[in-house]
Amino acid sequence: MNFNRLETFVWVATLKSFRKAAERQCTTQPAISNRIAALEEELGVKLFERDSGPTTLTTKGQELLPYAEKIILMSQQLRMRADKVALLSGMLRLGVSETIVHSWLPDFFRALHTMMPNLDVEITVDVSVNLSAGLLDRSLDLAFLMGPVSEPRIANRELCSFPLTWVASPSLNLPNRALQLEDLAEHPIITYARNTKPFAEISQKFKQLDDFSVRFYSSSSLAACHRLTLDGIGVSTLPFSVVSDELDNGSLVQLETTWTPSELVFTASYPNAPFNPVAELAGNLAVSVAQEYSSPDHHKKLSLSTKNHN
Q: CB–CB of 202/237 below 8 Å?
A: yes
Per-residue pLDDT tens for 91-124? 899 999 999 998 999 999 999 999 888 889 999 9
Is residue 180 located within the same domain as residue 122? Answer: no
Model confidence at 49, pLDDT cuts 50, 70, 90, reads confident
CATH code of the domain covering residue 207: 3.40.190.10
The model's pTM: 0.74
- Which helix (H) or strand (E) is 235 found in, with range? strand 235-239
98 is a domain residue: yes
E strand map for 39-163: 48-49, 56-57, 90-96, 119-125, 142-146, 154-162
Is residue 113 located within the same domain as residue 152? Answer: yes
Per-residue pLDDT tens for 20-47? 888 888 889 889 989 998 888 888 889 9
- Which helix (H) or strand (E) is 190 found in, with range? strand 189-192
- Which helix (H) or strand (E) is 239 found in, with range? strand 235-239
User: Per-residue pLDDT averaged across 200-227, rounded?
Assistant: 89
- Residue 52 pLDDT: 64
Query: Of 81, 114, 140, which one is at a domain's C-terminal end?
Result: 81
Is residue 146 located within the same domain as residue 134? Answer: yes
Per-residue pLDDT tens for 18-27? 888 888 888 8
- Residue 217 pLDDT: 95
- Residue 282 pLDDT: 94
Residue type, 133: A
Using DSSP, state whether 309 is helix, strand or coil: helix
- Residue 25 pLDDT: 81
CATH code of the domain covering residue 20: 1.10.10.10
- Residue 305 pLDDT: 41
37 is a domain residue: yes
Of 154, 157, 159, 158, nearest to 270 by C-alpha is 154
Is residue 250 located within the same domain as residue 168? Answer: yes
Is 140 exposed, middle or buried, given 0-12, 13-18 or 19+ CB atoms closer than 10 A? Answer: buried
201 is a domain residue: yes
- Which helix (H) or strand (E) is 168 found in, with range? strand 164-168
pLDDT of 200 > 70? The answer is yes
Is residue 282 located within the same domain as residue 138? Answer: yes
Residue 158 phi, psi (nearest 5): -65, 130
Is residue 68 located within the same domain as residue 101? Answer: no
Using DSSP, state whether 127 is helix, strand or coil: coil
**Calpha distance 156→283 (Å, rounded):** 9
User: Per-residue pLDDT averaged across 279-298, rounded?
Assistant: 86
260 is a domain residue: no
Is residue 72 located within the same domain as residue 113? Answer: no
Q: CB–CB of 247/77 below 8 Å?
A: no
219 is a domain residue: yes
261 is a domain residue: no
Is residue 36 located within the same domain as residue 185? Answer: no
Is residue 216 located within the same domain as residue 234? Answer: yes
Query: Of 15, 46, 81, which one is at a domain's C-terminal end?
Result: 81
Range of the domain at 217: 164-254
Number of domains within the chain: 3
**pLDDT above 90 coverage of the chain, percent:** 50
Is residue 223 located within the same domain as residue 147? Answer: no
Residue type, 44: G
Query: Of 38, 57, 81, which one is at a domain's C-terminal end?
Result: 81
142 is a domain residue: yes
- Residue 300 pLDDT: 47
Is residue 17 located within the same domain as residue 35? Answer: yes
266 is a domain residue: no
Is residue 71 located within the same domain as residue 207? Answer: no
